[in-house]
Amino acid sequence: MGHRVEHATGPRIAPDRLRAFGTRVLATLEVPEDDAALVADSLVQADLWGHQSHGFLRLPWYAARLRSRAMLARTSPEVLSDTGPLLLLDGRDGIGQVLAERARTTAVDRARRFGVGVVGVRNSNHFGTAMYFTRRAAADGCVSVLTTNASPAMAPWGGREKVLGTNPWSIAAPGPGGRVVAVDIANTAVARGKIYLAKNRGEPIPETWAMGPDGAPTTDAAEGVLGVILPMAGHKGYAITFLMDVLSGALTGSGVGSEVHGPYEAAARSRCGHLFLALDPAAFGDREGYEGRVEQLIAEVKGVPLAQGFDEVFYPGEVEDRAEAATLAAGGILLAEQSLGDLRGLAAETGVPFPAAVAR
């Protein structure tokens, strides 16, 4: 037994066709082509990694927010503070992926100049998968950390009313041989998108994922969407999500707690914030030694005797690399039937043909 990769049944769609479809859909909603291509690529990449909860499932949500102008098609951030190593941007309700990419490129540039680069973003929107951006920074040679806050999904430990978001974060670092080591997690037992995905598939959820409005655990995905998502590791997950809100919202001057709104709320300003940190290993004076130590760490974790029920140990990020390779080898991405229906509806609304499935 190894790591479980999310799966769906149905026709496979070639990643490049999905990218082109997403880009064209967003372009009909007045998103500049380069920005539209970035958003589409981020969603396709999540599906390739096996994280369908953050993949093309979300495109109709983004479209609805663009139509309501809760999220603006043209992203034009304003620099509020610039100390050299640290920059603060007001995203002015622009597209989350575009703002996170601006934060990444700026943080990496400052890290190369100063050894460290920090970019805060206020008044942003949902940016998809945090790992998409930290992995890019790692490929550029920097160790990176990205935090964000999100709309209420979790109750404080001991409570049953949601006031805190899943508030995910990602860390990625350059590894040996051009590889990247990376983690991307929400502080809840599961990302909210996975409950939506289970709902779209008509599948039950584990009782450790969410509790219903009455404060009792539920296996009903539809009830879980309306209820409260449970924290990972009990009180520890609650404390981490609280501090991620401090880093992402309080520190950047964005919304916090119940002031933040999610991508599925079509008409509400998000007010979410992000913090991107980039570190240049060369600034620590031993770049080659750094790479050797990461290689040693990977070798040690993969070389341990296996626990019962496992046939391999993975280093962080390896599961996603394997999933992408397997999906590409299979010829395309599988989408849940409900997601396919939603996307075909979006195609009809925008006049953009939905891509044909890969011939088998």
Catalytic residues: 126
What one-letter code names the amino acid at 249?
A: G
CB 193 within 8 A of CB 164: no
Looking at the DSSP bridge assignments, the partners of residue 120 are: 88, 275
Sheet containing 217-218: which strands, arranged edge to edge? 217-218, 210-211, 228-229
What one-letter code names the amino acid at 316?
A: P
Closest by CA position to 133, among listed 142, 125, 124: 142
**3-state SS string over the chain?**
CCCCCCCCCCCEECHHHHHHHHHHHHHHCCCCHHHHHHHHHHHHHHHHCCCHHHCHHHHHHHHHHHHHCCCCCCCCCEEEEECCCEEEEECCCCCHHHHHHHHHHHHHHHHHHHCEEEEEEEEECCCCCHHHHHHHHHHCCCEEEEEECCCCCECCCCCCCCCECCCCEEEEEECHHHCEEEEEECCECCCHHHHHHHHHHCCCCCCCCEECCCCCEECCHHHHHHCEECECCCHHHHHHHHHHHHHHHHCCCCCCHHHCCCCCCCCCCCCEEEEEEEECHHHHCCHHHHHHHHHHHHHHHHCCCCCCCCCCCCCCCHHHHHHHHHHHHHCCEECCHHHHHHHHHHHHHHCCCCCCCCCC
